[in-house]
Structure 1
Amino acid sequence: MSKHDFSATEFIDRLTRARAAVAAAKLDWMVLFHPVSILWLTGGEAKSYRAFQCLLLAADDRPLTMITNGTDVAEWRDDSRADEVIGWAGPEPEDPIEVFARVARAHGLLDARVGIEVPGFYLHPSHYTRIRDLLGGALVAEPSNLIHELKAVKSPAELAFVREAAARADAAMTALFGAIRDGAMELELAAEAHRALLASGCTLPASQMNLVTGERLCYPIGGPTQRRMARGDAGTVEVGAAFRRYTATLGRQFSLGEPSRRVREVFAVVKDAGEAMLAEIRDGVAAVVPHEAAKRVIAAAGLDRYRLHTSGYGLVPGFPPSWGDPTINLFGGSKSVLRAGMVVTIEPPVFIHEERVGARMIDNIIVTETGCEVLSQVPREIAVRG
């Protein structure tokens, strides 16, 4: 993504809503660390999240200030809507927190009411503690989901990118199925999917592909290995497609030759659980409702203790290692409410280690007023090859 991917009007609307949310939280400033928050407001996607970056967002109409690694300054200036870009390091090492301290003092943060994001992957603990100590009494809140909640419902332009990503995930899955043969490595199958994604204009997804076969079928999120397929092996795969950073995921079951009876039994339960979830989804439904529908199906089959993964979650533009929205989860105890325009995954799982079997079908849907739009066209069946 860059500032050119959406209209100036859309970015202005996002910024206006974000400033209002900061003010409503009784804050003068928010310091944003999550790359998705920064992307949503500025369009910038440079890889400075790998070290230290932040965006200073004021409740009033002051410049958006980006602090980034010196290697990324040019990209932020060219491809983002940040008004001011300040780099740390460059020809020689530099302490980014010292640079943050200078900028914070210059912009008056130490004499204001400040909130900060504390994301799970993108803020080093030592940086967090030093920033907290620097801000002292000015740090009055840590509303980490303030921006995430604003962007949970996607705009028509964002949904167009999600649909583009979903179409490319379909094509990648088809390419992967075409590579299934006796002796094929799991990594060869993954390579065909990645080739299809990159050739179609996608970037690499934010998370490693999940792909397991044979005796590894019981691993919920196992990555591809040098294991070679043999006739009778079943497999499960999750492909992630990233188009302009907007992510679509797709998970399917496959088999080299006829799958075993037990594989088909477990797969049928998982498929029915997904169908039960789809039937419950619409605007205004609590996210726990489709989750409970899936649980009932799996429990009725005597497999409830083998649910080893969430039933679903929200999707965001992905940055390694995650493409998940921290505010939308379809699992027990979730407080999320589904709204039209949200993009979520449907993926109730069953994985049985002692039997060396497992299944998870993954589909992305857009929540609508009366139901949902399923994005994939790949059949929800076991793909039998050979």
Structure 2
Amino acid sequence: MALQFDATEYAARLDRLTARMRDDKLDALLLFAQESMYWLTGYDTFGYCFFQTLVVKVDGSMTLLTRSADLRQARHTSTIDDIVIWVDRVNADPTMDLKNMLSEMDLLGCRIGVEYDTHGMTGRVARLLDNQLTSFCQIIDASYLVGELRLVKSPAEIAHAERAAALADDALDAALPLIHAGGNEAAILAAMQGAVFAGGGDYPANEFIIGSGPDALLCRYKAGRRTLDAADQLTLEWAGVSAHYHAAMMRTVVIGEPSARHRELYAACFEAIKAIETVLRPGYTFGDVFETHARIMDERGLTRHRLNACGYSLGARFSPSWMEQQMFHTGNPQPILPDMTLFVHMIIMDSERNTAMTLGHTYLTTAEAPRALSRHPLDLIVK
């Protein structure tokens, strides 16, 4: 088997999960999130774009229901022994196969949790699933159960996060010599992604974000490449990836002499991140992090230019996003605990003056002050 962690790591994760299931009085759990299956068993695939689910019973036994294309994938990359195949055919309803399988697992009338809030669960699948199981068992929405367990990282996971951060630094190092007047976004993007691959890293769970000129104000990937002007701005958001564990970074690079507005927005970003470092520790919440960001931005008159979130938890993620479920937004009561990997980003987009400024990197929380995983400083980059 091609596993990223040793057997004791996976056993400890299963013990944590079944303990939580007992606390929540769940007899079984249907995992549809690929990251949940990967975290629990090592199962590594993109087959979650089709129907598949991992059934975990409270006694620790597991059965995967998937397509034939993923049979060998599951055998080779996971600790799962029991694999059942549903057959591709006209008008196939794999939820019927699932109900029959659950019956054979003696789960009729039991209390079963389901991961609904995931990209591995389409609206159509949810309707089919509910139709099959409503009269079969008691369904509980357990969308965030495994995600909450994954927030705190083990030492083995932290090692991958640290490696991912080193690859993110390598990507920036590869990009910087190419950022200049006449430089092309295509070459910059190729160099960054190439550095991650050359260092033994993986594809990210979403595309790297690159945009210059007016596109620097976008914080999503879009098609199309541009050549940099003598006076320009380039926004980059990217991640190093190791065994699917992500460490993200974000910068807006100024080409030519920075405008007064660029310097003003950078000062706000830097002040906010340094202030967040004082609350990115036990005793505070994710909501406290956002309120710190919002207070500083709002005091500087930047309310309409900032976003309504300023970061999120990172970990092992799959397409279409490397963002975890827990985000820094107003009112989030999630406590900050040691050994979380958290991406803090400042994003200010002034559309009125066509000026962008971003700043961010990934931190590892500790019992006290957080530790930035990047070796790059938070200085304004001018080329």
Tell me the amino acid that sits aligned with residue 175 of structure 2.
L
Alpha-carbon shift at residue 251 of structure 1 (Å): 0.8
Alpha-carbon shift at residue 3 of structure 1 (Å): 5.9
Alignment of 1:157-168 (within 5 A): 157-168=156-167
- Confirm or deny: 8 A CA contact 2:181 2:231 kept in the other structure: no
Task: Identify the residue that residue 43 of structure 1 maps to in structure 2.
Answer: 42
Task: Identify the residue that residue 34 of structure 1 maps to in structure 2.
Answer: 33
Tell me the amino acid that sits aligned with residue 101 of structure 2.
V
Tell me the amino acid that sits aligned with residue 52 of structure 1.
F
Task: Identify the residue that residue 234 of structure 2 maps to in structure 1.
Answer: 235
Bigger mean CA offset, 93-102 vs 38-47: 93-102
Alpha-carbon shift at residue 92 of structure 1 (Å): 8.7
Alpha-carbon shift at residue 239 of structure 1 (Å): 0.9
TM-score normalised per structure 2: 0.95
Q: Would you say 1:59 and 2:58 are equivalent positions?
A: yes
Distance 1:64 1:120, change over 3 A: closer
Task: Identify the residue that residue 9 of structure 1 maps to in structure 2.
Answer: 8
Tell me the amino acid that sits aligned with residue 363 of structure 1.
H
The 3-state SS of whatever aligns with 1:115 is strand
Q: Would you say 1:194 and 2:193 are equivalent positions?
A: yes
Seq. identity, %: 28
Alpha-carbon shift at residue 83 of structure 1 (Å): 2.1
Q: Would you say 1:274 and 2:273 are equivalent positions?
A: yes
- Confirm or deny: 8 A CA contact 1:220 1:351 kept in the other structure: no
- CA distance in structure 1 between the aligned counterparts of 2:57 and 2:162, rounded to whole angstroms: 33
Q: Give RMSD over aligned pairs.
A: 1.8
- CA distance in structure 2 between the aligned counterparts of 1:181 and 1:32, rounded to whole angstroms: 47
Deviant stretches of 4+, over 4 Å: 90-94
Task: Identify the residue that residue 331 of structure 1 maps to in structure 2.
Answer: 329
- Confirm or deny: 8 A CA contact 1:208 1:223 kept in the other structure: no
The 3-state SS of whatever aligns with 2:210 is strand
Give unmatched runs, 5+ long, in structure 2: none
- The number of residues matched between the two structures is 382
- Confirm or deny: 8 A CA contact 2:265 2:348 kept in the other structure: yes
The 3-state SS of whatever aligns with 1:178 is helix
The 3-state SS of whatever aligns with 2:363 is strand
Alpha-carbon shift at residue 375 of structure 1 (Å): 0.5
- Confirm or deny: 8 A CA contact 1:3 1:81 kept in the other structure: no
- Confirm or deny: 8 A CA contact 1:46 1:75 kept in the other structure: yes
Task: Identify the residue that residue 359 of structure 1 maps to in structure 2.
Answer: 357
Distance 1:71 1:123, change over 3 A: same
Alpha-carbon shift at residue 98 of structure 1 (Å): 3.2
Alignment of 1:1-386 (within 5 A): 4-61=3-60, 63-89=61-87, 94-137=92-135, 138-223=137-222, 225-326=224-325, 328-385=326-383
- CA distance in structure 1 between the aligned counterparts of 2:279 and 2:19, rounded to whole angstroms: 33
The C-alpha deviation readout for 1:213-238, integer Å capped at 9, x for no partner, is 11222223344632211111011101
- Confirm or deny: 8 A CA contact 1:212 1:224 kept in the other structure: no
Tell me the amino acid that sits aligned with residue 233 of structure 1.
D
Alpha-carbon shift at residue 89 of structure 1 (Å): 3.4
Bigger mean CA offset, 255-264 vs 38-47: 255-264
- Confirm or deny: 8 A CA contact 2:213 2:234 kept in the other structure: yes
Alpha-carbon shift at residue 91 of structure 1 (Å): 9.3
The 3-state SS of whatever aligns with 1:364 is strand
- CA distance in structure 2 between the aligned counterparts of 1:13 and 1:363, rounded to whole angstroms: 29
- Confirm or deny: 8 A CA contact 1:177 1:383 kept in the other structure: no
- Confirm or deny: 8 A CA contact 1:247 1:323 kept in the other structure: yes
Give unmatched runs, 5+ long, in structure 1: none
Bigger mean CA offset, 280-289 vs 25-34: 280-289
The C-alpha deviation readout for 1:245-290, integer Å capped at 9, x for no partner, is 0011011121222222211211221111111111222123112222
- CA distance in structure 2 between the aligned counterparts of 1:25 and 1:284, rounded to whole angstroms: 26
Tell me the amino acid that sits aligned with residue 325 of structure 1.
E
- Confirm or deny: 8 A CA contact 1:187 1:224 kept in the other structure: no
